[in-house]
Chain A
Amino acid sequence: DAGVTQSPTHLIKTRGQHVTLRCSPISGHKSVSWYQQVLGQGPQFIFQYYEKEERGRGNFPDRFSARQFPNYSSELNVNALLLGDSALYLCASSFGWPENTEAFFGQGTRLTVV
Protein backbone atom coordinates (compact mmCIF):
# COMPACT_ATOMS: atom_id res chain seq x y z
CA ASP A 1 0.00 0.00 0.00
CA ALA A 2 1.18 3.52 -0.75
CA GLY A 3 2.04 5.74 2.16
CA VAL A 4 1.14 9.40 2.49
CA THR A 5 1.98 11.13 -0.76
CA GLN A 6 2.58 14.85 -1.16
CA SER A 7 3.00 16.93 -4.26
CA PRO A 8 4.97 18.69 -5.43
CA THR A 9 8.19 17.74 -3.65
CA HIS A 10 9.82 21.10 -4.27
CA LEU A 11 8.40 24.48 -5.19
CA ILE A 12 9.79 27.96 -5.70
CA LYS A 13 7.42 30.93 -5.54
CA THR A 14 7.74 34.71 -5.52
CA ARG A 15 6.58 36.92 -2.68
CA GLY A 16 2.91 37.80 -2.99
CA GLN A 17 2.02 34.73 -5.01
CA HIS A 18 -0.35 31.96 -4.03
CA VAL A 19 0.54 28.29 -3.59
CA THR A 20 -1.42 25.04 -3.33
CA LEU A 21 0.08 21.94 -1.77
CA ARG A 22 -1.53 18.53 -2.08
CA CYS A 23 -1.69 15.46 0.12
CA SER A 24 -3.11 11.98 -0.42
CA PRO A 25 -3.56 10.02 2.80
CA ILE A 26 -3.01 6.33 3.28
CA SER A 27 -5.94 4.35 1.90
CA GLY A 28 -8.64 4.10 4.56
CA HIS A 29 -7.38 7.05 6.57
CA LYS A 30 -9.94 9.78 7.07
CA SER A 31 -7.92 12.40 8.95
CA VAL A 32 -5.29 14.69 7.47
CA SER A 33 -3.13 17.16 9.37
CA TRP A 34 -0.74 19.79 8.05
CA TYR A 35 2.48 20.96 9.69
CA GLN A 36 5.01 23.66 8.85
CA GLN A 37 8.66 22.92 9.58
CA VAL A 38 10.97 25.90 9.34
CA LEU A 39 14.67 25.08 8.96
CA GLY A 40 16.19 24.17 12.29
CA GLN A 41 12.84 23.86 14.09
CA GLY A 42 10.34 21.18 14.88
CA PRO A 43 7.10 20.98 12.91
CA GLN A 44 4.29 23.37 13.88
CA PHE A 45 0.65 22.31 13.61
CA ILE A 46 -1.39 24.20 11.02
CA PHE A 47 -4.66 22.30 10.48
CA GLN A 48 -6.44 19.03 11.05
CA TYR A 49 -9.30 17.82 8.87
CA TYR A 50 -11.49 14.82 9.50
CA GLU A 51 -14.44 13.78 7.36
CA LYS A 52 -14.01 16.97 5.33
CA GLU A 53 -14.45 19.24 8.35
CA GLU A 54 -11.83 21.33 10.10
CA ARG A 55 -11.17 19.86 13.54
CA GLY A 56 -8.34 22.07 14.64
CA ARG A 57 -6.30 25.07 13.63
CA GLY A 58 -2.90 26.20 14.83
CA ASN A 59 -1.63 29.73 15.32
CA PHE A 60 -1.31 30.68 11.66
CA PRO A 61 -2.71 33.74 9.83
CA ASP A 62 -5.80 33.64 7.66
CA ARG A 63 -3.56 33.52 4.59
CA PHE A 64 -3.37 29.80 5.34
CA SER A 65 -6.40 27.71 4.45
CA ALA A 66 -7.09 24.08 3.70
CA ARG A 67 -9.79 21.73 2.63
CA GLN A 68 -10.43 18.01 2.46
CA PHE A 69 -12.14 16.30 -0.44
CA PRO A 70 -14.63 13.39 -0.46
CA ASN A 71 -11.77 10.98 -1.20
CA TYR A 72 -10.03 12.34 1.95
CA SER A 73 -7.18 13.96 0.04
CA SER A 74 -6.38 17.49 1.12
CA GLU A 75 -5.05 20.79 -0.15
CA LEU A 76 -3.19 23.45 1.79
CA ASN A 77 -3.42 26.93 0.32
CA VAL A 78 -1.25 29.89 1.22
CA ASN A 79 -2.04 33.35 -0.15
CA ALA A 80 0.16 36.44 -0.37
CA LEU A 81 3.34 34.48 0.25
CA LEU A 82 5.98 35.97 2.51
CA LEU A 83 9.67 35.09 2.71
CA GLY A 84 8.95 33.62 6.14
CA ASP A 85 6.62 31.04 4.61
CA SER A 86 9.66 29.24 3.24
CA ALA A 87 9.59 25.87 4.97
CA LEU A 88 8.99 22.16 4.66
CA TYR A 89 5.27 21.46 4.72
CA LEU A 90 4.40 18.05 6.09
CA CYS A 91 1.14 16.19 5.77
CA ALA A 92 0.16 13.43 8.19
CA SER A 93 -2.74 11.03 7.91
CA SER A 94 -4.42 8.90 10.54
CA PHE A 95 -7.32 6.50 10.54
CA GLY A 96 -9.72 8.30 12.82
CA TRP A 97 -10.46 11.15 15.22
CA PRO A 98 -10.72 11.82 18.06
CA GLU A 99 -9.73 8.30 19.02
CA ASN A 100 -6.07 7.71 19.49
CA THR A 101 -4.58 6.57 16.20
CA GLU A 102 -1.03 6.86 14.94
CA ALA A 103 -0.13 9.63 12.50
CA PHE A 104 1.86 8.70 9.40
CA PHE A 105 3.81 11.44 7.64
CA GLY A 106 4.58 12.12 4.03
CA GLN A 107 7.95 13.30 2.77
CA GLY A 108 6.83 16.88 2.62
CA THR A 109 6.86 19.73 0.15
CA ARG A 110 9.84 22.06 0.31
CA LEU A 111 8.54 25.58 -0.40
CA THR A 112 11.01 28.36 -1.12
CA VAL A 113 9.70 31.93 -1.37
CA VAL A 114 12.02 34.39 -3.12
Chain B
Amino acid sequence: AQTVTQSQPEMSVQEAETVTLSCTYDTSESDYYLFWYKQPPSRQMILVIRQEAYKQQNATENRFSVNFQKAAKSFSLKISDSQLGDAAMYFCAYRSAWTGTASKLTFGTGTRLQVTL
Protein backbone atom coordinates (compact mmCIF):
# COMPACT_ATOMS: atom_id res chain seq x y z
CA ALA B 1 0.00 0.00 0.00
CA GLN B 2 1.12 3.51 -0.72
CA THR B 3 1.72 6.02 2.05
CA VAL B 4 2.21 9.78 2.00
CA THR B 5 3.98 11.62 4.81
CA GLN B 6 3.95 15.33 5.54
CA SER B 7 6.26 16.00 8.47
CA GLN B 8 5.46 19.70 8.89
CA PRO B 9 2.14 20.17 10.72
CA GLU B 10 2.44 23.95 10.48
CA MET B 11 4.50 26.45 8.52
CA SER B 12 4.57 30.23 8.53
CA VAL B 13 5.75 32.64 5.86
CA GLN B 14 5.75 36.39 5.49
CA GLU B 15 3.86 37.96 2.65
CA ALA B 16 5.95 38.15 -0.53
CA GLU B 17 8.45 35.58 0.77
CA THR B 18 9.03 32.01 -0.40
CA VAL B 19 8.11 28.86 1.50
CA THR B 20 8.65 25.16 0.83
CA LEU B 21 6.34 22.42 2.04
CA SER B 22 7.74 18.90 2.28
CA CYS B 23 6.21 15.59 1.28
CA THR B 24 7.60 12.08 1.07
CA TYR B 25 5.82 8.99 -0.16
CA ASP B 26 6.33 5.28 -0.32
CA THR B 27 5.34 3.09 -3.24
CA SER B 28 6.57 0.08 -5.15
CA GLU B 29 4.99 1.34 -8.37
CA SER B 30 6.96 3.02 -11.11
CA ASP B 31 4.16 5.00 -12.70
CA TYR B 32 1.97 7.30 -10.65
CA TYR B 33 0.80 10.86 -10.16
CA LEU B 34 1.51 13.27 -7.33
CA PHE B 35 -0.59 16.24 -6.38
CA TRP B 36 -0.70 19.19 -4.04
CA TYR B 37 -4.16 20.24 -2.93
CA LYS B 38 -5.11 23.38 -1.02
CA GLN B 39 -7.98 23.31 1.48
CA PRO B 40 -9.02 26.77 2.69
CA PRO B 41 -11.54 27.26 5.52
CA SER B 42 -14.31 26.86 2.93
CA ARG B 43 -13.30 23.14 3.06
CA GLN B 44 -13.23 22.63 -0.71
CA MET B 45 -10.13 20.81 -1.95
CA ILE B 46 -8.53 22.78 -4.76
CA LEU B 47 -5.86 21.30 -7.01
CA VAL B 48 -2.70 23.40 -6.90
CA ILE B 49 -0.29 21.40 -9.02
CA ARG B 50 0.21 17.93 -10.46
CA GLN B 51 3.26 15.88 -11.42
CA GLU B 52 3.43 12.77 -13.55
CA ALA B 53 6.11 10.41 -12.28
CA TYR B 54 7.36 9.59 -15.78
CA LYS B 55 8.17 13.26 -16.40
CA GLN B 56 11.58 14.37 -15.22
CA GLN B 57 10.75 18.05 -15.55
CA ASN B 58 9.32 19.62 -12.41
CA ALA B 59 5.80 21.00 -12.76
CA THR B 60 5.16 24.72 -12.34
CA GLU B 61 1.94 26.72 -12.10
CA ASN B 62 2.54 30.46 -11.79
CA ARG B 63 3.89 31.03 -8.25
CA PHE B 64 3.76 27.31 -7.42
CA SER B 65 6.45 24.82 -8.34
CA VAL B 66 7.52 21.39 -7.20
CA ASN B 67 10.82 19.64 -6.60
CA PHE B 68 10.20 16.04 -7.59
CA GLN B 69 12.93 13.60 -6.60
CA LYS B 70 11.73 10.19 -7.77
CA ALA B 71 14.63 8.16 -6.39
CA ALA B 72 14.28 9.79 -2.99
CA LYS B 73 10.45 9.62 -3.19
CA SER B 74 10.24 13.27 -2.31
CA PHE B 75 7.78 15.83 -3.65
CA SER B 76 8.04 19.32 -2.16
CA LEU B 77 5.96 22.38 -3.01
CA LYS B 78 7.51 25.82 -3.31
CA ILE B 79 5.29 28.87 -3.09
CA SER B 80 6.94 32.07 -4.29
CA ASP B 81 5.79 35.62 -3.54
CA SER B 82 3.38 34.31 -0.88
CA GLN B 83 0.03 36.05 -0.63
CA LEU B 84 -2.50 36.24 2.20
CA GLY B 85 -4.84 34.13 0.11
CA ASP B 86 -2.33 31.27 0.17
CA ALA B 87 -3.11 30.64 3.85
CA ALA B 88 -4.74 27.20 4.02
CA MET B 89 -4.15 23.52 4.69
CA TYR B 90 -1.99 21.93 2.01
CA PHE B 91 -2.23 18.23 1.30
CA CYS B 92 0.14 16.11 -0.70
CA ALA B 93 -1.55 13.21 -2.50
CA TYR B 94 -0.63 10.13 -4.53
CA ARG B 95 -2.55 8.28 -7.20
CA SER B 96 -1.55 5.12 -8.99
CA ALA B 97 -1.37 5.25 -12.77
CA TRP B 98 -2.40 1.60 -13.00
CA THR B 99 -5.74 1.52 -14.79
CA GLY B 100 -6.90 -1.68 -13.12
CA THR B 101 -7.69 0.02 -9.86
CA ALA B 102 -9.91 2.76 -8.55
CA SER B 103 -8.69 6.28 -9.19
CA LYS B 104 -8.25 6.87 -5.48
CA LEU B 105 -6.11 9.55 -3.96
CA THR B 106 -3.95 8.75 -0.94
CA PHE B 107 -3.42 11.90 1.12
CA GLY B 108 -0.88 12.99 3.69
CA THR B 109 -1.93 14.53 6.99
CA GLY B 110 -1.51 18.08 5.75
CA THR B 111 0.50 21.20 6.50
CA ARG B 112 -1.22 24.32 7.77
CA LEU B 113 0.33 27.37 6.12
CA GLN B 114 0.03 30.75 7.80
CA VAL B 115 0.87 33.91 5.88
CA THR B 116 1.79 36.96 7.95
CA LEU B 117 2.10 40.61 7.03
- When the two chains form their complex, are residues B97 and A43 in contact, meaning their CB atoms are under 8 A apart? no
Q: Contact mask A75-104 → B, CB, 8 Å, 1/0?
A: 000000000000010101010011111111
- CB neighbors of A among B4-35 (8 A): 4, 33
- CB neighbors of A among B62-96 (8 A): 91, 93
Q: Contact mask B32-55 → A, CB, 8 Å, 1/0?
A: 010000000011111100100000
Given known pairs A41-B109, A42-B107, A43-B105, the reply for A92 and B99 (CB within 8 Å) is no
Q: Chain B interface secondary structure, helix, strand, loop or mixed?
A: loop
Chain A residues whose C-beta falls within 8 Å of the C-beta of B101 in the assembled complex = 56, 98
Chain A residues whose C-beta falls within 8 Å of the C-beta of B109 in the assembled complex = 40-42
* A58 interfacial contact with B, CB 8 Å: yes
CA distance A58 to B50 in the complex (A): 23
Interface size class of A (residues with CB under 8 A): 20 to 34
Chain A residues whose C-beta falls within 8 Å of the C-beta of B4 in the assembled complex = 42
Q: Contact mask A6-49 → B, CB, 8 Å, 1/0?
A: 00000000000000000000000001010100001111110010
Pick the residue among A43, A90, A100 that contacts B33 (CB under 8 A).
A100
Binding site for B on A (CB under 8 A): 31, 33, 35, 40-45, 48, 55-58, 88, 90, 92, 94, 97-108, 110
